[in-house]
Structure formats: structure tokens, C-alpha cells
A and B are shown apart, each in its own frame.
Chain A
Amino acid sequence: MTEMRMRDAIREAMREEMLRDERVFLMGEDIGAYGGSYACTRGLLDEFGPERVRDTPISESGIVGAGVGAALAGFIPMVEIMTINFSLVALDQIVNNASKLHYMSGGQVNVPLVLRMASGGGSQLGATHSHSLEGMFAHFPGLTVVCPAFPGDAKGLLKRSFREPNPVVFIEHTALYGARGEVPDDPDHLVEFGQAATVRSGKDVTLVGYSGSVHQCYRAADMLAEEHGLTADVIDLRTIRPLDMSSVIRSVRRTNRAVVVEDDWKFGGFAGEIAAQIMERAFDWLDAPVARVAGKDVPMPYNRNLEYAALPSEEDVVEAVLSML
């Protein structure tokens, strides 16, 4: 194990996969000389050269589509879309092409494409640059959606993404790039999709999160223990499609209460999917309705206080737990 920051774990995963498989190449806006907007590709241009670490113009639809084409022809491209906000102009390629070509062609072609993008608010970047759209991507059959919360998982999941014969949307929370954690050194360490991790064990409530919200769940669990004498299971989903509901259901049947936490808007959001599945599979075990703690239903404001109010907090999680006792 080596302690690493999230961005370094992500870089190491790409580096190892490029060394392992010649078919892997990277392209994106400012991933070369600039080193990536969040410094995830720093140094890779020097090591692998401009053919395999390819700077692109600002053409999200063009470069994602080019990734699909190169994948159809036997390569394993990683396209970095600087932030998830810009994925919206590439949705035609992601939704109409990458996710559907295997099915629509009757299984003749497949698209081994890794799309990396940074997600999340909290940096006063305003409404267009603060989206959390993980749940939107999880909506589409054919896509795998990965949302790591810790550097070790990020590395294992990203390496696993490069081995996947289908498109993977790999979403990194901007607030976590500097987060440190233990990362396995073994270059063959992979984290399998669809396997949630119970990062903390308790008996009074199940807190479910992914990406940044796992850390809110974790801090809320601390507060519940210290201030209220309550213990919580904290479940890190790690991938939201495929979704490991079995781990969630097992926990809820033990704790009888659940709070689902995400940065995305509550209305029509992914937390609602989890809440519905808990209702379908653990209704008789519930002592209270499943609670959702999520973003407020507003375009993200620029003002710091307003933005803080619009995002879910650990205090909101604690409050939700206390209100169901």
C-alpha cells in the first residue's frame, strides 16, 4: 500500500494500463502539455508521447465520437471530458452511439471506451459548472457508471474500466482530487463493478452514498456517534450502474432505517431509485420512510452562502436520521 492523492491514483491507473496494453490511448482537452485541468494526466505526455496522450480542440462531441470510432476499430480510448458539465454537448455520442451500438447491431460491435469527467459543485463556479449528473448517466442501459469516493477504489475501478468491453462513464468528484488514501501497489489490483463497500458499520441506520456524498455520510456517522449515541452503516456504492442493491438491502433489514445522500437534485434523482428499490425489497423491515438528502431544486447559485445552502451537508444527514427515530 502507498498513500496517494486521488488524482495521483487516477494517473497511476491510466499509466499502468497504457504500459500493459498498447491499444490504450488518451485524448482530451489540455490533457497533454497542460497536464489536465485537474492534473490527472500530468507527466503522461512526456512518458508516452503525443500519439497516445493526445491534446484535442474543444469539441466534446467530436472527441467522444472519435473515441467511439477508435473503439469500434479495436482501440481502447480514454476520452477525458474536462467536466461533466461539458458532457451535455456530447450526449448524442454517449447516449445514441456508445451506449447502444452493441445492442442495436445485434451484438456485432462493442465499444470499449472510457469517459472520464469531473463532477460536483461547491467551488462557486455557478450554475453551468456545478452539475452532479451521475444519475442521469445511470439512466441509460448499456453504460457503466463509476463514482469512486477513495483513491484506492479509484485506481482499482479505473483499471477495471480499461478492461471492460463496453463504455464506462468514470466520474470523479472535484472536491476529492486532493483527498489522500491507501492505494494498493499491485498492478493487477482491480475493483469489480457492482460491488458496494461498507465503509463503516453500525446498527441504527443505513447511510447510502457514492462519490463525494460518501464522505458526508461518514462525517454524519461520526456526529451521530459522538453527539447522539447512534451508530450507522455507511455504504459506498462505488458504481451506480451496475448497482449493488443487495448490500443495501442486507444493511437496511438490519438497521431498519435508510438515508440516501447525493449532490444531485432530489427531484427525479438517483436517490429516488435507491429509495424505491428499498421499498420494493425491504418494506416490511422499515421503521420509517426512506429519507433522501440531496441538492436543492435550484440552478447552483454563485454566492457562497447560497451555494452551501443548495448542497447537502452532513448536518442535513444527521437531521434526517434524527427525524426518523
Chain B
Amino acid sequence: MSVGQAIPTMVGEPPDDELQQRFLYEMLLIRRFEEKCAEMYTRGKIRGFLHLYTGEEACAVGAINALRDDDKIVTHYRDHGHALARGVEPNRIMAELFARVGGTNEGRGGSMHIFDVSRNFLGGYAIVAGHMPIATGLGLAANLSDEDWAALCIFGDGGVGEGEFHEALNLAAIWKLPVVWFCENNGYGMGVPFDDSLANDVYKIAASYQMPSVRIDGMDVLEVYSATQLALAHVREGNGPYFIEALTYRYRGHSMADPELYRTKAEVEEYRQRDAIQRLKRSMIADGLIDEPTYQALVAQVDAEVDEAVAFADASPEPGLHTLYDHITKEYEGESG
């Protein structure tokens, strides 16, 4: 695929039936989890900033399912969906949002900073584009260790205006590092429309760093999966980084505090008509992979999991005040690393 090509044709391994079932399940899990989060936020169970991922599910599910277990992910602060797609337990994510000891980060991180090292999920980062140089460093580590794992860096279109975007891409390009840059372009940097923010299209800006750069439909999970597979194959072969701009849309405001004065309800409705979950559901029904009753059963299963996550989080204790100073630094035991 050439540099700067806009919409790729479908390539790579087409997802088999089982994988499509998984995509549907994971997108539904994210959707219902996030809707539950909104409810828990209004009930005061979740505090701080809460950025919900509804509408963008196809990005996380398509991209992350293309990874191997030993690939590493860093992402931005709208990170629940990515964590769920990576297999981080919903119970532990919800407990983190509830700020409890059973949370992924023992209640120290919150919504924007989910970590799960056991899944090579190396964090949500809340300073826009601040994690992009870290992805470069992960790619550098992969190269220095002569291993063929790759780094996936997920960020939003808002990150493209930051200097760290450009430094990170440039370093990855000159050092030919195995990093897949995955831009979730949801059209707005908080409330400022994309068109008022950048002098060029995202994938064209990235292409100027001499890496393959494609724009894809981020509301089509099959396309996201295929494009990411292709990107991973490219970076694993030592060809340097690869850039994907996925066009997507968030249904809710930037955060729960957003009054959404900058867009119309009609616009949101327009995108809801293109919903990734409904799209996959329709095609799976057409292919005879599911029918309406099995779909409803899946929704019920997901809802039960989300309810279980809430129950788990609620039952988990708050961290004791005596643990305030835990984890400021790792203890030195006379060994390095």
C-alpha cells in the first residue's frame, strides 16, 4: 500500500466466524459498560473526569484483536474500551473507576489511567499526545532486544497538533521502529472541530514522515481489523512504523461535563445511523451467523457481566489511608531495573 493512500481495499486475513462473534461481543461489552459508567457517574459512584467511548467501539475491537499477546499498547485517556478489548477484566476496570483496592491500579489511577501489565496494557495517558514518545521507546526496546513484538499507540485527532506527536513519529521513522500509530479521529478536539485545528489531513501529515499512512472507516470493525493486521505485518518485518487514521465518532460529549454546545443533535443522530455494532449485526444476520434471539441473548450476557462488574466494584474496599505513600517509588534492593 502506498504512502498516503486514502481508503485501502480489504486485505489481510478476513475475520472468520468465531472472530466476528468475538467482535460483536466485545463491542457490545464496551457499549453497555460505558452506558453503565454514565449511570454510575450520575449516581456519584464514579468521580473525576469520565470520557466515554460509545460510538468508537470498532476502533478498539478491530485494532486490538489484530495484536499478539506480547505486543504492547499505550493509549489516551478515553481508555476503558481499549482495556476491555485487551481482555482486562471489567470487574477490575469498574473497581478502578469506583476508586477501590480491587481496581486495576488499586484506586490510584482512575478512569484516564487504566494499567494492566499482565495484558501488556501499559496505560491510559491523560496529557494529550504525552504517551506517543513512550510508544517510540517501546518500539526502540523491541528493536534493541531483537524481538518481533510491536507497539500499538492509540491517540485522538487532538494529539496531532501537539509537538510530541511529531517528535514521536519522526524518531520512529528515522530509527525504523515497530510502532503502529492508530489515530482515532472522532472529529473534535474536545469541542473544536477537526477542520479548524489542523492544516492538513491527519494521514497526510503522518505520510510526510515517510511511513505508510492510510485513512480507514473507523466505524467498520472488519476494516479496522484488516488494516491493523496489515500494519502489524509491515512493522514486524522491520520496515519501520505504520500509520492508520480511523474516522470515527463519539456519541456522548467529550466528558460527562460537556454540554455539547458545538454540535447538533442531528449530527449525532446521523452517525448513530452508521453504528458499528448494528452494522456488524446486520452483516452477521445476512451471513447467517446469528439471528435476533441469539443477539438478544448476547446483550443479556453482556449486561449480566456489567452488573457483576458494578457489584464487584461496590464490594471492593476503599484503599486505607495508611497506604497513601505506597508506590511513590519502587524499593531499591541493590539490583537494577
Contact = CB atoms under 8 A, between A and B. Distances in A.
Interface string A116-158: 0000000000000000000000000110100000000000000
A77 B138 CA distance: 12
B127 interface: yes
Given A61-B133, A68-B137, A73-B72, A112 B337 contact: yes
B142 A73 contact: yes
A102 B104 contact: no
B18 interface: no
A92 B174 CA distance: 23
Contacts of A162: 336
Contacts of B130: 65, 92-93, 96-97
Interface stretch (A103-111, A207-215, A289-297): A103-111
Contacts of B168: 62, 65-66
B266 interface: no
A61 B164 contact: yes
Nearest to B117: A108
B215 to A, nearest CB: 25
A189 interface: no
A74 B337 contact: yes
B115 interface: yes
A69 B149 CA distance: 14
A32 interface: no
- Determine the interface band of chain B, counting residues with CB < 8 A from chain A: 35 or more
B163 interface: yes
A110 B330 contact: yes
Interface stretch (B57-65, B180-188, B321-329): B321-329
A55 B239 CA distance: 21
A231 interface: no
A21 interface: yes
B337 A23 contact: yes
B144 interface: yes
B132 interface: yes
Interface string B73-111: 010000000000000000000000000000111111100
Scoring B105, B123, B130, B137 by chain A CB atoms within 10 A of each residue's CB, the highest score goes to B137
Nearest to A159: B336
Given A65-B164, A71-B137, A59 B105 contact: no
A163 interface: yes
A57 interface: yes
Given A61-B167, A92-B127, A73 B138 contact: yes
Contacts of B222: none
A248 interface: no
Contacts of B113: 104-105
B337 A76 contact: yes
A110 to B, nearest CB: 4
A271 to B, nearest CB: 24
Interface residues of A, number: 47
B168 to A, nearest CB: 6
A59 B168 CA distance: 9
Given A61-B164, A103-B327, A75 B109 contact: no
Nearest to B107: A106
Contacts of B135: 69
A63 B136 CA distance: 9
A23 B137 CA distance: 14
B170 interface: yes
Scoring A103, A108, A164, A165 by chain B CB atoms within 10 A of each residue's CB, the highest score goes to A108
6 contacts: A59-B167, A65-B131, A68-B134, A75-B145, A102-B327, A109-B123
Interface of A: 21, 23, 25, 51, 56-57, 59, 61-77, 92-93, 96-97, 101-110, 112, 141-142, 144, 162-166
Interface of B: 72, 74, 103-109, 113, 115-117, 122-123, 125, 127, 130-142, 144-145, 151, 163-164, 167-168, 170-171, 174, 326-332, 334-337
Given A73-B137, A105-B108, A109-B117, 4 more contacts: A62-B170, A70-B137, A70-B141, A76-B337
